[in-house]
Amino acid sequence: MAKQFLSGNEAFAYGIRLAKPQVISAYPITPQTIVVEKLSEMVEDGSLNAEFIHVESEHSALSCAMGASSVGARAFTATSSQGLLYMAECLLYTSGGRFPIVMMNACRSTALPWNIYGDQRDSISQLDSGWIQAYAENAQEALDMALMSYYIAEHKDVATPFMANLDGFVLTHTYEVVDVPTNEQADAFLPKYETDNKLDFDAPKNLAFTAGPALNTEFKYKEHIGMLNAKKVIDEAEQKFAEIFGRQYTGLVEEYRTEDADYILITLGSIAGLVKETVDKLRDQGKKVGLLKLRYIRPFPNEEIANAVKNARAVAVLEKDISFGNEGTVYTNVNSALHKANISIPASNYIGGLGGRDIPADEIETIFEELEKEQTKVQFIGIGGDADEH
């Protein structure tokens, strides 16, 4: 294992190289471009033996990856923002066909107004597309996620595509020291991809066919079960990963100083690092606060959220997303988890970071201060004023 100074994009590319995909379909879009550029260099210099296909659009990028996966190849692509939305049709084809493609999405605001900076409205808009969705906090987690994503997606009990989300610019373009595993370590962790769900002249079968009312629900039910099965496979992958690489992850969520916390902030992605620093600062002042980081939001960690916050006096969700006319989508999902667990505590929603607007530490401190009021509200931060409460 060697230490390298890498951006989040570069770290993810190194993780993909270690996973040895056989086909990479690429169409560049800011702030994702560096990932496919780096992979193209790896293919060119021979450090990655893969077919690199530069296609004409994001729709074509995922279509190409799906075609490769349909004949049993390990496939990768990447996108961002409007590119993700352009390939939205193909997202459903990929998940419905149970093709375990891995795709990195550089989370970026969606138009209009046109904006290249990072929020999470692109990925969260596609929560119902049938893809596993994970969010990295830093470059090391990005590299490790790239490698683990194939283990999870390709598992026979899952067979579900995997969208790995990195916050645009804040993570994709920020440099950190990263431990890069050796090829031998990666090979010991990730088995060769084998599947019966592929086109084969020796065993002909029909893939991606039509199913009417008599059978359609059964296919969707199997797709749902595959996603639910990902929960145990994520735990399995992380345990094996820890044994080989010495880094332990914590499943669908990460709890940070929540064990005795009265007030817990729930968030996802790179902002979790700043929240951890704020929690430490407030703990030094005697405040009983904590962070619950959502590492995955599909499959959604219902039980994990309920267990983490069951003894808290109030919680808040901080997210870079808004479902216009209602509230943040992550907040909706968290409230559902609390309701199903019969947990009745005040839960507020703070919406910030849209279009890449900075969320400074003092705003996070203010959220924790407002949590002590134990109220329920939906509020945009950074511009003042509350949204309509429901």
The predicted-structure confidence for 235-290, as pLDDT tens digits, reads as follows: 999 999 999 999 999 999 999 999 999 999 999 999 999 999 999 999 999 999 99
CA distance 19 to 146: 8
pLDDT tens for each residue of 308-324: 999 999 999 999 999 99
Closest CA relative to residue 334, chosen from 306, 307, 355: 306
pLDDT tens for each residue of 96-126: 999 999 999 999 999 999 999 999 999 999 9
Could you tell me the pTM of the whole model?
A: 0.96
pLDDT tens for each residue of 263-275: 999 999 999 999 9
CA distance 139 to 155: 25
DSSP 346: -
Angle between helical axes of 139-154 and 8-19 (0-180°, round to 10): 30
Q: What angle do CA 110, 116, 121 make, to 5 degrees?
A: 30
Residues of the chain with CATH 3.40.50.920: 253-380
Q: Which CATH class is domain 2-245?
A: alpha beta
Give yes or no for residue 145 having a pLDDT over 80: yes
253-380 CATH pick, 3.40.50.920, 3.40.50.2300, 3.30.200.20, 3.30.2350.10:
3.40.50.920
pLDDT tens for each residue of 148-188: 999 999 999 999 999 999 999 999 999 999 999 999 999 99
pLDDT at 208: 86
Mean pLDDT of the chain: 96
Could you tell me if 256 and 290 are in contact, meaning their C-beta atoms sit under 8 angstroms apart?
yes
pLDDT at 388: 45
CA distance 65 to 76: 6
pLDDT tens for each residue of 12-65: 999 999 999 999 999 999 999 999 999 999 999 999 999 999 999 999 999 999
Residues of the chain with CATH 3.40.50.970: 2-245
